[in-house]
Amino acid sequence: MLRPILIFTTMLALVLPASAQVNSWKHEWPNTDFTKTSVDFTEIMSGGPPRDGIPAVDNPAMRKASSETRLGDREPVMTVEIAGQTPRAYPIRYLMWHEIANDVIGGVPVAVTFCPLCNSGIIFDRRVNGSVLTFGVSGKLRNSDMVMFDRESESWWQQFSGKAIVGVLLGTKLKKLPGWMESWADFKARNPDGLVMDQPLANRAYGSNPYSHYDSGRPFLYRGENPPHGIQPLARVVVVGNRAWPLTRIADHEELTEAGVTISWREGTASALDTRTISKGRDVGSIRVRNASGKDVPHDVAFAFAFHAFHPKGKWMLE
């Protein structure tokens, strides 16, 4: 039943003028200032679920890595390591169903985000202009990427960029924090005393991928251009700023130093968007990006179509 609903909402977005779309949103978003926007409203469409239909997790419970028995060794986790604090892992098996985890690590309020449709996993500092924001999932998409909202001002934010695109905080940009996706086995081996997000209490099929074989198909609810240079829309690319490296190129070399960063690839991490069971997904490996001083650099490993959509003049690091 979900697919017919999504097709209908997509068709509706295509025929409704922008003013009609805004009027249809206002009952659900009475506190959002739609007079302030940097995007064409016709670019924003419903992903199916309503506001908070995909519930973000606030203050997720954590447990010791040594006590976690549910995760497969190859399952991907988002890793956050803040100096002086115990490293934390946020399993994609949970973020797949919640997309945002609002947490605090050593006094630093963070939002750990994952958009399955773009394979985009980014960690943000939730502090803005002296205030701490709490993020939720709007149920809206732009270029197939999650549109987040903050509960304090109800401004809308593009997850891929971390920038407010609608509302009173228009133009504000969240600070990205270093973090990366890796296998549960790699996290445990490096951090035997680390912490891992515990299973939420919601009734979800944790460990399963509701977008079975998505990363070998076509982008969902995407109307933009395909990437240039013959790159497939759902090919993974390593995104650092406005540059993108094809993941296959990094994997072939295992390590590359270009444009002031060193990108390394390691085998052993399953794709979360391949098989129905996440732990059985094909091996796509994991990425670390460091600067000349050896410090981790904020980056993303996203689908090529998303990079092209948000960086149409971006630089493709092909050779």
User: What average pLDDT does this structure show over 128-147?
Assistant: 98
Q: Which whole number is the average pLDDT over 173-196?
A: 98
Predicted pLDDT of residue 21: 84
Confidence of residue 189 (pLDDT cuts 50, 70, 90): very high
Percentage above 90 pLDDT, the chain: 92
CA–CA separation, 204 and 221 (whole Å): 23
Mean pLDDT of 116-128: 98
- Kindly state the average pLDDT of the residues 262-284: 98
pTM of the model: 0.94
pLDDT tens digits, one per residue of 294-314: 999 999 999 999 999 999 999
> Is it the case that residue 4 has pLDDT exceeding 50?
no
Segment 245-268 shows an average pLDDT of: 98
pLDDT higher than 50, residue 14: no
Q: What six digits make up the tokens of 67?
A: 């006590």
DSSP character at residue 147: E
pLDDT band at 146 (very low <50, low <70, confident <90, very high): very high
How confident is the model over 238-253, as pLDDT tens digits? 999 999 999 999 999 9
- The tokens describing 100, both together, are 């945002």
88's tokens: 């934390």
> Can you tell me the mean pLDDT for 205-223?
96
Write down the pLDDT at residue 109: 98
CA 188, CA 68: separation in Å to the nearest integer?
10
Distances (CA, A) of 297 to 65, 239, 241: 24, 11, 10
What separation in angstroms does the CA of 7 have from each of 20, 141, 279?
A: 19, 14, 30
Nearest Cα residue to 262 out of 291, 240, 299: 291
Does the CA dihedral 90-91-94-98 come out positive or negative? positive
Model confidence pLDDT, tens digit, residues 77-96: 999 999 999 999 999 999 99
Confidence check: pLDDT of 1 > 50: no
Q: What is the mean pLDDT of the segment spanning 155-184?
A: 98
One-letter-per-residue 3-state SS of 172-213? CECEEECCEEEEHHHHHHHCCCCEEECCCCCCCCCCECCCCC
Helix, strand, coil percentages for the chain (3-state, nearest 5): 20, 35, 45
So what's the pLDDT on residue 20?
75
Whether the CB-CB separation of 146 and 116 falls below 8 Å is answered with no
Burial code of 205-219, b = ≥16 C-beta within 10 A, e = fewer? ebbebeeeebbeeeb
Radius of gyration of the chain (CA): 19
**201: which 2 tokens?**
């209490």
* Per-residue pLDDT, 16: 55
